């Protein structure tokens, strides 16, 4: 078990790392928030202009591409990030990783061309060229993102995300207004990806060196376990949509896809923490600084639910209002929204555990945790979707995440000391419950006014006031939260 060594890691030497991670997490969060916000607005436009059927086809197409892209990278993007973050032979690892990914992707493209009829019959996809285009753009984007994170340019990687999303949304909306429908969604998605790939490659620059066998072997040794982590992420986000596509109508797939978009919006801060922590944890692990690794894990667990905890309360209270913003047909997903937010909340904590195991070079242990989520998710989805539809898909998701989190906690505790920050998480829960009372009170008192204005305006007011109440309560309840804000947010 990795335990604290006999080295005195004084606070002054560690505080700059914590502050750098905090500031990077904040930048990543803001960038992702802007990106998700643009996507949120765009999705409302898509839903109202195109309807659930075309959106269902689009989400199904993206789900298929997501799984193909996993085979196109097969964990090598994670291996690239890990090896580059260690700081040695970066030029050789960039080339070796790129060659591996290119060979895998070329194989998949050839298989799609040869098996076009099978894909069309199985999933109802009429345009194989859509799949090939999105696959190539997606894989190249993953490669560039992996390099940026590996060379500790997480803030650049994060800053490019809203640019990609804004470009994508503008092209998609423009194409939809010109009546291109699904074609506009696909080519808009690809355009945003291509622009960011070019910018990312320019920012990364050199050096690039010819790799030798050892570089390929090193990447393979990490990737052979890390690939399952990528599959786990896609299983969590995409497996239910793919299976729903087999058993239910395109309209219900569209409803569920919109519900997932809302739930996933709340995990952006947790993802920002993971992205910012990984390169630093990897470097600390290489330096055998286990005390600092444990401390950073505690911090990540403390704030992984910062937005998801109040989101769960708000989702339970406002689910119907939120989904009605997209259109009346999407209200059918209101009863599953709170389940999906609950799944996202637990998944945020689970990802912190897996992130630490991967960073301390134990992808084999991450492999076990990911296996639990994947297998349980697939089995439960097939068992429950046929009987309960989208409600069964949500139930399968939250159950599988709870199982994998439990297994992950047990495994990680064998390698490092885990101290769960109950007090800080408890303050967030208390603040969220206080927020819920405020929202209910506002709805009751202001109902005569709300009944005279449209649902979108009412929902916006409730969400803004609820968020303000949550952070006001948290500011009063948690001295640690005030300290974190003052240290890491530039305005303070």
Q: Mind listing the pLDDT tens digit for each residue in 278-291?
A: 656 666 655 555 66
Q: How many helices (H) and strands (E) does the chain have?
A: 20, 0
Average pLDDT taken over every residue of the chain: 79
Higher pLDDT, 2 or 462: 462
Closest Cα partner for 252 from 52, 405, 98, 89? 52
Residue 491's pLDDT is: 53
Q: Residues, the chain, total?
A: 492
Residue 386's pLDDT is: 83
Read off the pTM: 0.67
Residue 416's pLDDT is: 80
Higher pLDDT, 129 or 19: 129
Tell whether the model's pLDDT for residue 272 goes beyond 80: no
Residue ranges covered by each domain of the chain: 26-420
In whole angstroms, how far apart are CA 109 and each of 5, 123, 137, 242?
A: 49, 17, 12, 20
Residue 1's pLDDT is: 41
Residue 222's pLDDT is: 81
Q: In percent, how much of the chain has pLDDT > 70?
A: 81
Tell whether the model's pLDDT for residue 490 goes beyond 60: no
Helix (H), strand (E) at residue 329:
none
User: Which residue do the tokens 């991967």 mark?
Assistant: 358
Helix (H, G, I), strand (E, B) or coil at 9: coil
* Rg of the Cα atoms in the chain: 22
Q: pLDDT band for position 182 (50/70/90)?
A: confident
Q: What is the DSSP string of 338-382?
A: HHHHHHHHHHHHHHHHHHHHHHTT-HHHHHHHHHHHHHHHHHHHH
Q: pLDDT band for position 13 (50/70/90)?
A: very low
The predicted-structure confidence for 188-241, as pLDDT tens digits, reads as follows 889 988 988 898 888 887 778 888 888 888 888 888 776 666 666 666 666 677
Cα 359 from Cα 362, distance rounded (Å) = 7
Tell whether the model's pLDDT for residue 102 goes beyond 50: yes
How much is the average pLDDT of 161-172? 82
Closest Cα partner for 469 from 430, 443, 434, 445? 434
Cα dihedral 448/452/454/456 (nearest 10): -30
Higher pLDDT, 17 or 220: 220
Cβ(429)–Cβ(422) below 8 Å:
no
Q: Which residues, in sequence order, are CB contacts of 312 under 8 Å at separation 6+?
A: 338, 341, 342, 345, 432
The predicted-structure confidence for 384-432, as pLDDT tens digits, reads as follows 888 888 888 889 889 999 999 999 999 988 888 778 889 889 999 999 9
Longest dimension (CA), the chain: 72
Residue 5's pLDDT is: 38
Residue 346 burial (CB count, 10 A): 21
> Kindly report the CA angle at 353 between 60 and 477, in degrees rounded to 5?
100
Q: Which residues, in sequence order, are CB contacts of 124 under 8 Å at separation 6+?
A: 60
Residue 6's pLDDT is: 37
> End-to-end alpha-carbon separation of the chain, Å?
40
Residue 157 structure tokens: 């990687």
Residue 449 structure tokens: 């006014």
Give 270: exposed, middle or buried? Use CB within 10 Å, 0-12, 13-18, 19+. buried
The predicted-structure confidence for 302-355, as pLDDT tens digits, reads as follows 888 888 999 999 988 888 888 888 878 788 888 888 889 999 899 988 888 888
């Amino acid at each position: 078990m990795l335990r604290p060594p006999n080295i005195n890691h004084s606070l002054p030497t560690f505080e700059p790392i914590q502050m750098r991670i905090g500031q990077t997490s904040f930048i990543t969060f803001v960038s992702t928030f802007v990106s998700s916000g643009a996507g949120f607005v765009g999705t409302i436009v898509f839903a109202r202009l195109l309807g659930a059927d075309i959106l269902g086809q689009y989400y199904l197409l993206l789900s298929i591409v997501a799984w193909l892209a996993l085979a196109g990278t097969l964990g090598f993007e994670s291996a690239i990030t890990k090896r580059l973050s260690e700081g040695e032979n970066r030029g050789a690892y960039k080339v070796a990783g790129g060659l591996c990914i290119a060979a895998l992707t070329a194989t998949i493209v050839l298989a799609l061309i040869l098996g076009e009829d099978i894909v069309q019959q199985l999933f109802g996809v009429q345009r194989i060229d859509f799949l090939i285009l999105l696959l190539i753009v997606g894989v190249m984007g993953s490669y560039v993102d992996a390099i940026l994170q590996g060379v500790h340019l997480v803030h650049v990687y994060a800053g490019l995300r809203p640019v990609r999303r804004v470009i994508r949304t503008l092209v998609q909306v423009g194409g939809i207004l010109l009546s291109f429908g699904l074609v506009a969604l696909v080519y808009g998605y690809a355009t945003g990806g291509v622009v960011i790939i070019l910018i990312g490659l320019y920012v990364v620059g050199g050096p690039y060196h010819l790799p030798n066998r050892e570089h390929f072997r090193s990447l393979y040794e990490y990737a052979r376990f890390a690939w399952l982590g990528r599959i786990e992420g896609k299983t969590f986000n995409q497996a239910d949509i793919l299976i729903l596509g087999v058993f239910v109508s395109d309209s219900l797939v569209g409803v569920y896809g919109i519900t997932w978009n809302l739930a996933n919006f709340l995990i952006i801060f947790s993802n920002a923490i993971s992205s910012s922590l990984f390169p630093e944890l990897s470097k600390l692990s290489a330096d055998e600084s286990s005390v600092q690794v444990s401390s950073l894990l505690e911090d990540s667990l403390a704030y992984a639910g910062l937005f998801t905890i109040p989101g769960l309360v708000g989702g339970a209270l406002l689910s119907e209002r939120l989904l009605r913003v997209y259109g009346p047909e999407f209200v059918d997903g209101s009863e599953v929204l709170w389940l999906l937010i609950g799944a996202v909340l637990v998944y945020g904590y689970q990802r912190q555990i897996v992130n630490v195991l991967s960073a301390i070079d134990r992808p084999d242990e991450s492999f076990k945790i990911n296996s639990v989520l994947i297998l349980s998710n697939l089995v439960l989805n097939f068992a429950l979707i046929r009987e309960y539809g989208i409600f069964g898909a949500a139930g399968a998701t939250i159950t599988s995440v709870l199982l994998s989190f439990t297994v992950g906690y047990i495994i990680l505790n064998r390698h490092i000391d885990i101290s769960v920050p109950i007090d800080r998480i408890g303050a967030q829960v208390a603040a969220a419950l206080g927020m819920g009372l405020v929202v209910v009170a506002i709805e009751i008192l202001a109902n005569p006014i709300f009944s005279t204005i449209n649902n979108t305006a009412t929902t916006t007011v409730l969400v803004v006031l609820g968020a303000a109440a949550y952070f006001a309560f948290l500011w009063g309840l948690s001295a640690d939260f005030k300290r974190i804000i003052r240290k890491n947010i530039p305005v303070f």
